[in-house]
Structure 1
Amino acid sequence: MTVLSLQDALLLPNFSTMDPAGLAATLDKKLAHNQQTIDQLLNNQADLSYKQLVPTLEQLDDEISQLWGPLSHLHGVSNKDDIRMAFDECLPKLTAYVTQMGQNKALYLAFVGLQEGEEFSHLSQPQQQFVKLQIRDFKLAGVALNSQQKIEYGQLKQQMAELSTRFSNQLMDATEFWYKHIIDSDRLLGLPESALQQAQEAAKAKALEGYLLKLDFSCYHSVMTFADQRELRQEMYQAFNTRASDQGPQGGQFDNSQVMEELVDLRHKVANLVGFDHYADYSIATKMADSGRAVEVFLLDLAKGCKPQAEADMRQLQKFATKEGGATPLAAWDVAYYSEKLRQNRYHLSQEELKPYFALPQVQAGLFNVVQRIYGVEVTSCKGISTWHEDVGFYQVGYQGKAIGYFYFDLYARDQKRGGAWMDECRNRQFKANGELQLPVAYLVCNFAPPVGGKPALLTHGEVTTLFHEFGHGLHHMMTNIDVAGVAGINGVAWDAVELPSQLLENWCWREESLRLFAKHYQTGAALPEDLLQKMLAAKNFQAGMFVMRQLEFALFDLRLHMNYDPSAPQSIQSVLNSVREEVAVIKAPQWNRFQHGFAHVFAGGYASGYYSYLWAEVLAADVFSRFEDEGIFNANTGASLWSDITGQGGSRDAMDLFTQFMGRKPSVAALMLSKGLAPGDKQGVSKGASYES
């Protein structure tokens, strides 16, 4: 009897033998086959049952995912020329197919028939929810448009997809193009040893002596936080915050200005075509919030509560910096530097002092230990799996001796890999055509500085929370109890609730009981000293008001850019950002700052008119964690309740219903304000219909 390898048993992509160029032709055939299969299905029978319709569609979608998914993933983590070319060739074809499916009236009517038929009441809750969401999405995709309008809609979606890809490519090219070669180590005074070693390694990779500074976030953050030479900080700040723009050292070379303007205009046209006044309401139609205006009220109300503390934080920082000989007023490239000095002065704590206790292997093991204590799941490494880079690992998530999901771990920054951190699906949980259950598989990606000088990668505490955050997304995908693909894992989850499991898991990075599990010195194994631990916990809410206001700046900019767009008299993107900054920003940005040109969440990701989701979900997460605080952060019963009520439910029920099932009430902003050490405010809560409920 032949025993299948895990690689083959899971039907995982074979990255070592993948032929990007050949995928385009294969995808052509697959899309044509799917179209023909769906047409035959709809033509052969007028009234289709759920079993006749949905499993077939699930199977067809999964087959496309197994072709397109790996290529799309490689476009983010290994953006070589052949991969970029294949991606660019396939994207228009897939976009056209998705648009056609969304506007297939016969398919839409088949789902309407299911909802209105006798069978519907006998379907399970996840099945019913899937049917409802499909009907909603058909309407949003323009199924009711006439023939000419459908053609226009398809053209608009095609252009939007191409522009988003161009934005991402130009941002990556701009990030990798700039570097600064330094011979004189005196210019790098203040930088920690780990950052210096990283810069030396980067120089060696280009056969250069001395040091090489690059625009990956790890290097940028180190310079902005620790470099004593102000001119160097300013130069680095300008290079980073003018990437892919008309300003800075690369001004005009990879400029995303026109891309952004065209994207906003196209989004507005799409929204108008399907009956919305603006793109914000079109986007929010799939979210917990009721409208763009309701979200704006939520954000402004949060700003009202946080801005006084943020302004007080900034005054304190300026006062401290002035005593230290800093500029008055502080420039944007001074803030992180003096904030770190103030943190050290106030709490006698340096972020670099903590890093030896957060070696990545130890943190990773601690992360797995934490989720085991919360949920009872076990994470184990798997060998013999094909990956796209030697540093990538593959792991199984099991429960009571049985596998429930798997994930790839790609944690280090490198060339041809886009910045940031994210989770994506590799395989979804669903039943295959042969009746076997396909287990979920996730891609989990971060961009930490790799090991240097024989040491393991040492993380800042902020990077520890990033790792926990992304793993929270992964658990949401892998721990799903739902077998209906369209509402399993993160599928079908309202976008402003999808961050709940990820932001929730961050809380365990701040609790003494969990920190004791993994905060250990990488050389001696000694636990994080009690005095350092208490200092770190005491500094938890350091400048929390400034952080929240920065997030509000991003969220309001994104929302108003799409909500207030007037095609007859379009306001420049820069002017929209400037007006938001005048209203909420406490850190003054220079006039040449072009942050928006690198805002990939909004212009190349899925967060257009949805960046507010981070703050919205943070309210939910803080409130959910308050139950753990009351009942014990490793209380097995609370963890089981979280799994059954939220993590395992995916999009099978409305997010607000799942929240109230777990908490027994609607959300309250008070928990968030309390967790950040801000004014507690009143007992208001996030709700559907209005941003707050009294």
Structure 2
Amino acid sequence: MPLAPLTLPATDAAWLAFLDQRLTAALTRAQDVVTDLKDGASRSALDALQAWNSGDIGLGEAGGMASLFAEVHPDPDVRERCERASQEVSKFLTARALDRPLYDVLSALDPAGLDGDARRLLERTLRDFRRSGVDQDEATRERITAIQERLTVLGQEFGRHIRDDVRTIRVTADRLDGLPADYIAAHPADADGLVTITTDYPDLIPFTTFATDAAARRELHTAFLNRGWPANDAILHEILDLRHEFAGLLGYADWPDFDAEVKMIGRGAAIGEFIDRIAALAEAPGKRDIGILLARAQQDDPTKTALTAADSGFYAERVRREQYDVDAQEVRRYFAFPKVRAGLLDVTAWLFGITYVEQPEVPVWHEEVTAYDVHRDGAIIGRIYLDLHPREGKYKHAAQFSITSGVDGEVLPEGALVCNFPTGLMEHSDVVTLFHEFGHLVHHILGGQQRWVRFSGVATEWDFVEAPSQMLEEWAWDGAVLASFATDEDGQPIPADLVAKMVRAHEFGKGQKARTQMFYAAVSYGLHKERPADHTAFVADLQGRYDLLARLPDTHFQAAFGHLDGYGSGYYTYMWSLVIAKDLFGAFDPADLFAPDAAGRYRDQVLAPGGSADAADLVAEFLGRPYSCDAFGEWLSS
């Protein structure tokens, strides 16, 4: 019998009971596995691993649903229940990881006779136990338990403060000068004659890109950078201190050393070395870029001596329009959201040899969510949900969330793409973001046909995770690809010469953007490495060292930097992955990105294996050699 996807509740009133049942059953299943494995019965290594796999399937479902619906469900009671569920799952995982009798059972298993995947699972599982502190004394294990449980709560609070802290500015209608007509129409003045602009992305990005009022741009971006402040300051101090303490209890010098051990980069110190290496590569291109932007800004204000984040988007748009003949308002005419969504599905279906079948009758958590079953060779291989527009109480960024991780013959992989795009015309940068995030989702589905749930989907090293998504962005810059779905209101496709100009304009600023990315990476690494008493002063110093944009005064970037929870000290991974993505893309024919040969090999050799092999080995198999940074260096300096 073919596998079937989950059936979500059909009515709002049924959600709490549904989640209670699923979450309780998953945790019970996982606890029963632990109890059974410790019952003293004789088991083969394979039997023990199959039982372990069963427990992890349930935990993955519980953790996935709790994580997703805590961020997207419109009912605050459901969100609160899912936050508690995440704490319950985390508490169980911590207790299991510190269960010495359980570890003794698994470590005593004889791996002889196991195939490569099963042996890899056993090795990774035992490594996880050791990295959790299972071999420490009882007092240390108790302290680790308390730390892990507290970190779960703190992470939720940190994210909630960012999610819920939607700030606004109120401006007179004349201060909307330069903005697109549809944006102005969507933001009418209130009874006081004032227009409210929020820090949510659909408001923020067009405003800071097009509004000619520099003071208004500055006011909005300042509000954006102060989300979560001051509430998140004390929380971040506690997170950093607890992570450092945890690493020290396990014998590591600091959190970056602990964090890097299981990533491609390998060592904590190598993070700082990588940041400085990329910053050096980007220095000359970045200064060239910032010089062009500043010269353009000085045409408007001859006294201007530096640019901030409130200026960069606006003047980058001016340069693209005036020097590259690319007008973002002209470009966006071709990117109506419904066409972009349909085009994304068509392009990736062709590229990866899959089919999306919309399921309009499937229950979802909000009326704007769409569901699709994914088929390959006539059989269903997973389900995806697209939740792509902003609303109150919803996650503010863009990310893929797993709901279930696929296990061959047992569970279909399911995931959700959560974004905050306008329902009308989109900026092309939004289109690129959509392709990027969808890359994670398709990786989750295509890599979700594994025997062991541990290796299902996006289960590679964390500093490789972004590479497939960054590579998929290239399809959002290709003229033939865009012409297949990007049409204006008269149905005319986006002209090839306009796309060529867009690409040339896009290449402008990559040095400056790389330096800004290294500032973000240095914040992520440096805060965990140094744990300064004054986060704001420390971050300001890092911005002066790495970013070519000046700091906006009286802002607290770190309080709204949500990646400090999920990525920890590892935000460098975006650039590390980009180095690999540029190398991977070299295997495709840029003259025909619809060619199926390279895409099929990439699907089968890089995406489909999930985490069943090291990322470096997957890449080497696809490229026929180890990856290198040559392609990235050439791209950055060109």
- Give the TM interval when normalised to the shorter protein: over 0.9
CA shift for structure 1 position 272: 0.8
* Counterparts of 1:466 and 1:56, CA distance in 2: 39
Shift of the 15–256 alpha-carbon distance from structure 1 to 2, 3 Å rule, reads farther
Give the corresponding residue for 1:354.
331
* Counterparts of 2:511 and 2:577, CA distance in 1: 17
Query: Which shows bigger deviation, 493-502 or 511-520?
Result: 511-520
1:372 matches 2:314: no
- Aligned ranges 1:583-622 → 2 under 5 Å: 583-603=545-565, 606-622=566-582
1:439 matches 2:412: yes
TM-score normalised over the length of structure 1: 0.87
Alignment partner of 1:557 out of 523, 535, 542: 523
Give the corresponding residue for 2:224.
240
Query: Which shows bigger deviation, 614-623 or 536-545?
Result: 536-545
1:263 matches 2:239: yes
1:316 matches 2:292: yes
Give the corresponding residue for 2:543.
581
Shift of the 33–625 alpha-carbon distance from structure 1 to 2, 3 Å rule, reads closer
* Counterparts of 1:32 and 1:472, CA distance in 2: 33
* Counterparts of 1:180 and 1:584, CA distance in 2: 30
CA shift for structure 1 position 417: 0.6
Give the corresponding residue for 2:195.
211
- Aligned ranges 1:84-163 → 2 under 5 Å: 84-114=79-109, 116-120=110-114, 123=115, 125-163=116-154
1:488 matches 2:456: yes
CA shift for structure 1 position 12: 3.0
CA shift for structure 1 position 150: 0.8
CA shift for structure 1 position 289: 0.8
CA contact (8 A) 2:351 2:594 kept: yes
- Aligned ranges 1:396-435 → 2 under 5 Å: 396-431=373-408
Q: Deviations over 1:244-288 (max 9, x none)?
A: 214xxxxxxxx2110011100000011111121100011112211
CA contact (8 A) 2:27 2:62 kept: no
Task: Give the letter for the 2:287 counterpart.
Answer: E
* Counterparts of 1:425 and 1:15, CA distance in 2: 20
Give the corresponding residue for 1:394.
371
- 3-state SS of 1:437 partner: coil
- 3-state SS of 2:451 partner: coil
CA contact (8 A) 2:144 2:246 kept: yes
**CA-atom RMSD in angstroms:** 2.3
Task: Give the letter for the 1:280 counterpart.
Answer: P
CA shift for structure 1 position 243: 1.4
CA contact (8 A) 1:321 1:327 kept: no
* Counterparts of 2:330 and 2:318, CA distance in 1: 13
Give the corresponding residue for 2:312.
335
Give the corresponding residue for 1:325.
301
* Counterparts of 1:268 and 1:609, CA distance in 2: 11
Structure 1: tracts of 5 or more residues without a match = 247-254, 451-456, 680-694
- 3-state SS of 2:165 partner: helix
CA shift for structure 1 position 510: 1.4
* Counterparts of 1:29 and 1:526, CA distance in 2: 53
* Counterparts of 1:529 and 1:644, CA distance in 2: 33
Give the corresponding residue for 1:637.
597
1:58 matches 2:39: no
Alignment partner of 1:34 out of 30, 33, 53: 30
CA contact (8 A) 1:499 1:613 kept: yes
CA contact (8 A) 1:405 1:478 kept: yes
Q: Deviations over 1:439-488 (max 9, x none)?
A: 211111111022xxxxxx21111111111111110111101242211101
TM-score normalised over the length of structure 2: 0.94
* Counterparts of 1:477 and 1:362, CA distance in 2: 24
- Aligned ranges 1:461-476 → 2 under 5 Å: 461-476=428-443
- 3-state SS of 2:609 partner: coil
Count of residues in correspondence between the two structures = 635
* Counterparts of 1:277 and 1:631, CA distance in 2: 49
Shift of the 575–662 alpha-carbon distance from structure 1 to 2, 3 Å rule, reads same
* Counterparts of 2:18 and 2:434, CA distance in 1: 35
* Counterparts of 1:673 and 1:515, CA distance in 2: 27
- 3-state SS of 1:117 partner: coil
Task: Give the letter for the 1:407 counterpart.
Answer: I
CA contact (8 A) 2:344 2:435 kept: yes
- 3-state SS of 1:272 partner: helix
- 3-state SS of 1:269 partner: helix
Q: Deviations over 1:341-388 (max 9, x none)?
A: 122110121111111111122222222222233221122212211111
Aligned-pair identity (%)? 27
Q: Deviations over 1:38-57 (max 9, x none)?
A: 2233214244431x222323
CA shift for structure 1 position 552: 0.6
CA contact (8 A) 1:24 1:89 kept: no
* Counterparts of 1:381 and 1:482, CA distance in 2: 25
Give the corresponding residue for 2:270.
294
Alignment partner of 1:626 out of 563, 566, 586: 586
Give the corresponding residue for 1:667.
627
* Counterparts of 1:164 and 1:483, CA distance in 2: 32
Task: Give the letter for the 1:643 counterpart.
Answer: R
Q: Deviations over 1:324-355 (max 9, x none)?
A: 33651244222222221122110121111111
